Structure 1
Amino acid sequence: MTARVWPRRLITGLYWFWALQFALGAITKYWPGETFFGPPYSMKFADWGYPSWMRFVIGGLEGVSAILLVIPSRRTRFVGATILAFVLTGAVTTHIINHDVLSQSWAAPTHLVIAGAVALANWPADWRELLRRAVPPTTRAAPMTE
């Protein structure tokens, strides 16, 4: 095997591991009873001040993001990580507003940092042009011939 195969396989394995975490999180959001994370998410969301049906929206976004992360395309991984960054920003904000203890809320900020890093690492090169200042093409004057 060449030297480039191992790092690529390691990175792919890390994407799968991270995606499996969010797939598991999506499944537990749909689970009706208690999970191994604690009380049912229907109760958790209500305690946080959200309607209990919001867990289905968040679980759906996490599930879609998990699928997008395992597709070996920079564009899909970027979209998946960006969706997770928005979801996790809400999760971190919710934990801060509700004064949750660190032992219950350390995962959201950790995953938010990872989501930001993954989104930046997979930023599609052709989208970078959207962020640069638009410079109109200069027109060259035809040479004057006398």
Structure 2
Amino acid sequence: MSQRLRWARVRTGLYWFLGFEFFVGFATKCWPGSTIFGPAYSEKLAEWGFHPNMRFVVGGLELTAAVLLVLPRRESRFLGAAILVLVLTGAVTTHLIDDAPIWQGTSAPIHLVIMMAVALVNWPVDWRDVVPPWGRTASSARASVARGGR
């Protein structure tokens, strides 16, 4: 097995592991009662000053990002990591303001650094490659515009 194929498998495994972690995060946030990680997120969010149903918004973003991380396209992985950078920035800020114990507030900063690295590794060549126009890819759209078409 070549070195390049080996690293591709390691990267794919890492993306699947991260996707699974955030899928678990989605499931725990949408679960109505307490979980193995503590009390229900509706209670935690209310303690932190958020509306209890905010858990569905955060959980939905985590699910979307988890799906984007496991897709084999670089642009989708970048988009998933970028979504998680925003979510995790809010989580880190919340834990800092809340004065959470160190053992409770370590996961979010660690995952924030990991997602920043994933976003940088998958940084698109052109921002238009992240969300191409409907019906054609961004590169074909740029080629069409360069030829003078619409």
Tell me if both proteins adopt one fold, taking TM over 0.5 as the criterion: yes
Equivalent position of 1:84 in the other structure = 84
Q: Using the alignment, how far apart are the partners of 2:3 and 2:80 within structure 1?
A: 28
Give the paired residue count.
Answer: 128
Q: Does 1:64 align with 2:64?
A: yes
Q: CA deviation at 1:121?
A: 0.7
Measure how far apart 1:70 and its partner are.
0.3
Q: Once the two structures are superposed, what CA deviation does each residue of 1:62-98 show, in whole Å capped at 9, x if it has no partner?
A: 0000000000111100100000000000000000011
TM-score using structure 1 length: 0.85
Q: Which runs of 5+ in 2 are unaligned?
A: 129-150
Gap regions ≥5 residues in structure 1: 129-146
Distance in 1 between residues matched to 2:126 and 2:85, nearest whole Å: 21
CA deviation string 1:90-117 (max 9, x = no partner): 0000000111111111000000001111
Q: Which amino acid aligns with 2:114?
A: I
Name the CA distance, whole Å, in 1 between partners of 2:74 and 2:60: 21
Using the aligned pairs only, state the percent identity.
Answer: 57
Q: When the two structures are superposed, what TM-score results if normalisation uses the length of structure 2?
A: 0.83
Greater CA radius of gyration, 1 or 2? 1
Q: Quote the residue 1:124 is aligned against.
A: 124
List, as ranges, runs of 4+ consecutive aligned residues in structure 1 with deviation greater than 6 Å: none
- CA RMSD between the two structures: 1.1
Mapping for residues 34-45 of structure 1, pairs under 5 Å? 34-45=34-45
